[in-house]
């Protein structure tokens, strides 16, 4: 019984829940972080996104269990390894999704629709889109945009255009970087491990990374100095948070290009102290400036 629960928890991939922190971005930049009612509501949305995300991860592991057995790391996942039965995994996946959608419908109807769209896009990604070059990265980016929309919906604010643009460029940057790292780490076996990698090449991904890196940096800089931002926060000082963004992006590129890092960007973020410390400093700087 204990081993089955452990396998289920591993399949839920709780470390991936860190992506859902994007739900709090709208709350922070609307200066409502310390509104207790809104914070509790967005936290509830964060939990529901985690449940749906885990439901999708389990479904994806069911669908990919045969190919995962050929992967050096993914072969250790419970479904690929055989420590979790497919029938049990299906039941847990459906239970998590059902629980999340019932609670989401009770919480907010628009949030419910956003969560449903998130589920549909991710199922489409798992079943087909992840095999289509470029479109696979764009679908990954759409997930982050939906998190932003979900968070702003629950916070009762409208997302700014700059917030959406910065989210899109940053998520594309992370997506193309992830594909490049996968290709570099897996080498000749990349196409066998992940089918879409046959259609990518390192020179092509380097070009895409260069483009989205420049777009990410410029969009954030323009956001900090835009009249809309200055009027909203009543200060021009948000520009002083730019060095932390630059260091974070440059550090990430350093880890991708000059160190042999694991392919999952979440593992990269959670295991690199300078990167984590820089994020903390950025958060502190932003909080001091806008609050």
What is the per-residue pLDDT across 115-124, written as a single tens digit (0 to 9) for each?
Answer: 999 999 999 9
Q: N- to C-terminal Cα distance for the chain?
A: 49
Compute the distance between CA of residue 171 and CA of residue 110 in angstroms, rounded to an integer. 23
pLDDT at 38 over 60: yes
Compute the distance between CA of residue 150 and CA of residue 112 in angstroms, rounded to an integer. 9
Q: Report phi then psi at 207, rounded to 5.
A: -65, -45
Q: Return the pLDDT at 87.
A: 86
Q: Return the pLDDT at 1.
A: 63
Query: For the segment 273-283, what is each residue's pLDDT rounded down to a tens digit?
Result: 999 999 999 99
Angle between helices 2-12 and 86-107 (to 10 degrees): 60
Q: What angle do CA 261, 169, 61 make, to 5 degrees?
A: 50
Q: Which two tokens stand for residue 204?
A: 């092509």
Name the average pLDDT for the chain.
Answer: 89
Compute the distance between CA of residue 42 and CA of residue 25 in angstroms, rounded to an integer. 10
Confidence bin at 190 (pLDDT 50/70/90): low
Number of H helices, E strands in the chain: 15, 0
Q: Return the pLDDT at 53.
A: 94
Confidence bin at 135 (pLDDT 50/70/90): very high
Confidence bin at 189 (pLDDT 50/70/90): low
Per-domain residue ranges for the chain? 1-156, 160-291
> C-alpha distances in angstroms, 119 versus 16, 173, 229, 258, 276?
16, 22, 32, 36, 29
Q: Return the pLDDT at 8.
A: 85
Q: What is the 8-class DSSP label of residue 201?
A: -
Q: Give the CATH class of 1-156.
A: mainly alpha
Q: In this predicted structure, which of 26-30, 49-53, 143-147, 246-250 has the lowest mean pLDDT?
A: 26-30
């Amino acid at each position: 019984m204990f081993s089955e629960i452990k396998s289920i928890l591993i399949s839920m991939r709780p470390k991936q829940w860190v992506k859902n922190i994007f739900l709090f971005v709208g709350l922070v930049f609307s200066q409502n972080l310390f509104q207790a009612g809104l914070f509790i509501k967005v936290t509830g949305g964060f939990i529901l996104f985690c449940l749906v995300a885990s439901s999708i991860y389990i479904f994806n592991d069911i669908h990919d269990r045969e190919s995962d057995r050929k992967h050096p790391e993914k072969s250790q996942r419970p479904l690929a390894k055989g420590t979790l039965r497919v029938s049990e995994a299906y039941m847990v996946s459906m239970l998590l999704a059902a629980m999340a959608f019932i609670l989401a419908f009770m919480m907010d109807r628009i949030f419910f629709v956003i969560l449903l769209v998130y589920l549909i896009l991710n199922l489409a990604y798992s079943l087909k889109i992840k095999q289509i070059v470029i479109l696979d990265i764009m679908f990954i980016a759409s997930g982050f945009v939906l998190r932003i929309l979900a968070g702003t919906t629950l916070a009762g604010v409208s997302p700014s255009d700059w917030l959406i643009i910065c989210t899109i460029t940053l998520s594309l940057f992370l997506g193309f970087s992830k594909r490049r790292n996968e290709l570099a780490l897996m080498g000749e076996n990349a196409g066998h491990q992940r089918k879409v990698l046959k259609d990518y090449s390192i020179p092509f991904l380097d070009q895409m990374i260069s483009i989205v890196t420049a777009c990410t940096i410029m969009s954030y800089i323009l956001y900090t100095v835009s009249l809309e931002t200055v009027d909203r926060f009543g200060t021009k000082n948000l520009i002083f948070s730019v060095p932390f963004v630059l260091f974070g992006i440059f550090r990430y590129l350093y880890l991708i290009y000059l160190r042999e890092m694991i392919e999952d960007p979440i593992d990269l973020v959670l295991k690199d102290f300078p990167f984590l410390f820089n994020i903390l400093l950025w958060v502190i700087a932003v909080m001091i400036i806008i609050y």
